[in-house]
Amino acid sequence: MKLHEYQSKDLLAKHGVTVPGGEVADNPADAKSIADRFGGKVVVKAQVLMGGRGKAGGVKLFTDSQAASDFTKDLIGKRLVSIQNPAGMVVEKVLVAEQIDIAEEYYLSVLMDRAASKLVVMISKEGGMEIEEVAEKNPEAIVKVHVDPAWGLCDYELREAVGRANIPNVARGQMISMIKKLVKTYIESDADLIEINPCALTPEGKLIAADAKVSIDDNALFRQLAYQETADDSAEDEIEAEAARRGIAYVRLDGEVGIIGNGAGLVMCSMDEVKAAGGQPADFLDVGGGAQAERVKSCVELVMMDPKVKGILINIFGGITRCDEVAKGILQAIEELKITIPVVARIEGTAAEAGRAILAGSQIVPAQSMQEAAQKIVATTR
């Protein structure tokens, strides 16, 4: 679950990390009074869960509070689009933060290195820009330090690492101290990512987390009580957020073939078959066990929210799930949502005969096997 920048900074501040002062606002009047508190010298930042807000026009510096307030008025309700998130996200809140003078921008992050089964800290002097870009063009500019699960991080390792990253002397001690706090926050909050970009050095030589991105491991939300309530709203993608509200396992992908199946394994097989047939999956959607007609309809509706979808493949193997229930749901969805794009269904297992009978004579194209279903849907969407 991704936290907004303001939530991330609150969490980090509680752990002693230096962050700029600031407060969140959802209207221009509040933005003005917050900006006044900092003498008008603020940065207004869209609170949307996507990267590259700066380039997308969602971050702007001001020297007077009225201008900051006017910008807030423009920004709220606007859809920001970035390279990382071409569908974009609508701005509901802004962070009005004290504007700091920045001499240099560095990059810091803590994440899980699964291959090494250890946390890894990444340090770079090339902050400000996207780290993926640095990784591609100048990979040696990223220094990695693994955190020993038993010993944690030792000072000498960190001193060596910030030295290797060419962080200037004035910032080294502060950065070492910040990294330790980040790792402590990571572990105590069950985070799966903490990223500070930029980690800013002021002309006076003070190190400040000017931007912060924290993500909490969804599997730990049962004990990270502070974040449970906001969990549903935190998906980066609007359709994924809606799926979370409906309790449906859905992941949005880039292709054009909508995929619905029951059981994660069967859905992944269906995706493989679509790829093998030359198509690209538009999503992963698992209707779950024992799905009723109403739920199946809700799933079809969800898949149809993605405008890229040109056809839908439905792959059901009825065990607990009854195929006639699923068929009823599909039919209802097609009729009520007035779906005109091709739909291919492969239905096998409990009550399959009854299910196929329900679909017979409708616009839904039947298929005997998964492969056949994939080939048929890809042929119509290509």
Which residues are annotated as catalytic? 107, 195
Per CB under 6 A, the list member of 1, 43, 158, 367 interacting with ligand GDP is: 43
Using DSSP's 3-state secondary structure scheme, residue 13 falls into helix
Tell whether residue 210 is a contact of ligand GDP (CB under 6 A): yes
- Vertex 306: Cα angle to 303 and 309 (nearest 5): 80
What values do phi and psi take at 180, rounded to 5? -60, -40
CB 110 → ligand GDP: shortest distance, Å? Answer: 17
CB 101 → Mn ion: shortest distance, Å? Answer: 17
**45-84 footprint of ligand GDP as x/- string (CB under 6 A):** x-----xxxx----x-x-----------------------
CB 197 → ligand GDP: shortest distance, Å? Answer: 6
Q: Which amino acid is at 318?
A: G
Which residue lies nearer to ligand GDP by CB, 52 or 366?
52
Q: Is the Cα torsion angle 315, 318, 320, 321 positive or negative in sign? A: positive
Count of residues that bind Mn ion according to CB under 5 A: 2
CB 236 → Mn ion: shortest distance, Å? Answer: 15
Tell whether residue 72 is a contact of Mn ion (CB under 5 A): no
Which residue lies nearer to ligand GDP by CB, 57 or 349?
57
CB 18 → ligand GDP: shortest distance, Å? Answer: 13
What order of strands is seen across the sheet that includes strand 59-62?
22-25, 94-98, 42-46, 59-62
For residue 126, the number of C-alpha atoms closer than 13 Å in the C-beta half-sphere is: 15
Tell whether residue 321 is a contact of Mn ion (CB under 5 A): no
Which residue lies nearer to ligand GDP by CB, 39 or 265?
39
Query: Residues 6 or more apart from 303 whose CB is under 8 A from it?
Result: 258, 259, 260, 282, 283, 285, 309, 312
Tell whether residue 306 is a contact of Mn ion (CB under 5 A): no
Tell whether residue 195 is a contact of ligand GDP (CB under 6 A): no
Which residue lies nearer to ligand GDP by CB, 107 or 317?
107
Tell whether residue 381 is a contact of ligand GDP (CB under 6 A): no
Burial of 341 (0-12, 13-18, 19+ CB in 10 A): middle
Using DSSP's 3-state secondary structure scheme, residue 62 falls into strand
DSSP calls for 205-237: S-EEE-S-EEEE-GGGTTT-HHHHTTGGGG-SS
Within 199-238, the residues that bind Mn ion by CB under 5 A are 211
Which residue lies nearer to ligand GDP by CB, 84 or 292?
84
Contact 92, 72 (CB under 8 A): no
Which residue lies nearer to ligand GDP by CB, 45 or 295?
45
Residue 325 interaction partner, one of Mn ion, ligand GDP, none, beta carbon < 5-8 Å per kind: none
Per CB under 5 A, the list member of 7, 185, 197, 298 interacting with Mn ion is: 197
Tell whether residue 40 is a contact of ligand GDP (CB under 6 A): no
What spatial distance separates the first Cα and last Cα of the chain, rounded to whole Å? 35
CB 338 → Mn ion: shortest distance, Å? Answer: 43
Tell whether residue 24 is a contact of ligand GDP (CB under 6 A): no
**292/79 Cα distance (integer angstroms):** 35
Measured CA distances, 239 to 6, 34, 42, 48 (Å): 23, 33, 33, 15
Tell whether residue 192 is a contact of Mn ion (CB under 5 A): no
**119/189 Cα distance (integer angstroms):** 14
CB 56 → Mn ion: shortest distance, Å? Answer: 12
**306/235 Cα distance (integer angstroms):** 15
Residue 322 interaction partner, one of ligand GDP, Mn ion, none, beta carbon < 5-8 Å per kind: none
Within 98-157, the residues that bind ligand GDP by CB under 6 A are 99-100, 102, 105, 128
**366/375 Cα distance (integer angstroms):** 12
Tell whether residue 255 is a contact of ligand GDP (CB under 6 A): no
Which residue lies nearer to ligand GDP by CB, 83 or 187?
83
DSSP 8-state assignment for residue 281: B
Q: Give residues in contact with ligand GDP (CB under 6 A).
A: 20, 43, 45, 51-54, 59, 61, 99-100, 102, 105, 128, 197-198, 210-211
- Residue numbers of the site for Mn ion (CB under 5 A)? 197, 211
